[in-house]
Copies of this chain bind each other. A is one copy, B any other.
Amino acid sequence: PSNAAAGQQGADFPRITLTDNVWAQRMLLDQLFGPSWQLRLVTGWSMGGMQALHWALVFPEKVQSILPFCCTARCWPHNFVFLEGVKAALQADSAWRGGRYTQAPERGLRAFGRAYAGWAYSQAFFRNEQWRELGFTSVDALLDYWELDHLEQDANDLLCVLATWQSADPSVLAGASSLKDALARLSARAIIMPSSTDLYFTVEDARHEASLMPNAELRVLESDWGHCAGGPGRSPEAMAQVFSAMHDLLAS
């Protein structure tokens, strides 16, 4: 939304699905490499992982293996509800003006970041003060960082990403009659790697999805870092588990 063409800027930006993103990426690869490329591994964290799953769902012939971590293939209802909460926090700022803001909704962006922080890590992460490993000296300092980090973002960009995330549902892919039907087509070798303490992309949901895929292994990422276990470079122990799974997929 923030750098879109005229007529599609800001609040006028169209709704984008993960399938749209995957198609755009495919078109780019076609232009760069011609028609015969193959992907050995598609991987990603969070929405990047949802996208990896969509790669294998939308273009099964192009993808050999996937490693989606800290994510699920669809946005399950509790995940949807949590996102409604942080959205509401942003939109409570009257400067938001339905997306037609003339100055950044600063209070809303701060509230978004602050409300998000409780979801991003696990209860144990806070209990054990693991934020110290990120260089913070207090919980307040962590929350301040989350506020400032979101102040740098454009509100419409942020909400656009959330809408894509919330719309994720493989069962709406062409010709699939249900989630079960859609995931049964996922032939790529997959390691499905939810974080053991992720509060919104839960192990239970990931396990259920993996059970519907013909060639998937569920391998839980054991970590107290919650969703942020998969945050690149944040937790060395978690990263080691991710890299090990990548190695297994690429070696086979």
Contact among B77, B94, B114 for A93, CB-based, below 8 A: B94
Interface check A101, CB cutoff 8 A: no
Q: How many copies does the complex hold?
A: 2
Contacts of A202 in B (CB 8 A): 123
- Of A11-19, A63-71, A105-113, which binds chain B? A105-113
Interface size class of A (residues with CB under 8 A): 35 or more
Interface check A76, CB cutoff 8 A: yes
Interface check A243, CB cutoff 8 A: no
Using known A-B contacts A81-B139, A127-B205, A143-B84, determine if residue A91 contacts B107 with beta carbons closer than 8 Å.
Answer: yes
Contact among B78, B124, B126, B205 for A118, CB-based, below 8 A: B78
Contacts of A117 in B (CB 8 A): 81, 84-85
**CB-nearest residue of chain B to A108:** B92
A binding-site residues for B, Cβ under 8 Å: 76-78, 80-82, 84-86, 88-95, 107-108, 110-111, 114-119, 121-127, 129, 139, 143, 199-200, 202, 204-205
A–B pairs, 14, beta carbons within 8 Å: A78-B123, A78-B125, A78-B126, A82-B118, A85-B116, A88-B110, A89-B92, A90-B92, A92-B92, A92-B107, A92-B111, A94-B94, A123-B202, A123-B205
